Amino acid sequence: MCWAAVNRGEPVLVPDVRTFEGHIACDSRSRSEVAVPLRDAAGTIVGVLDVDSERPEAFRDADVRGLERVAALMYAVG
C-alpha cells in the first residue's frame, strides 16, 4: 500500500486489503487501509501516512481528503 501511494503519487484507498495484490500487512488484523503520500515544500514525496482499520470498507473518500489535509499540515509545521 505505501509503495503504491509513492509510485502513483496519490492516495490509495483499499476497502479490503485481502483483494489488494501484493499487500504486506503490518498487522494481521488490518482489513482496510488508506495510504497518503507526505510531501515536503518542494513537492517531493518523503514518506507516507498509513492508516489501517480492522473493519473492511472502514474508509471513504471524505476520510482520504481529511488525511490529505493532515499530511499537508505535517510538513507545513515541520
| pLDDT tens, position by position, 4-23 | 999 999 999 999 998 988 87
CA distances (Å), 19 to each of 15, 58, 65, in order? 9, 15, 23
Whether 52 shows a pLDDT value over 90: the answer reads yes
Whether 45 shows a pLDDT value over 90: the answer reads yes
> Where would I find the beta strands (DSSP E) of the chain?
12-14, 32-39, 45-53
- Domains of the chain (ranges; CATH) run 2-77 (3.30.450.40)
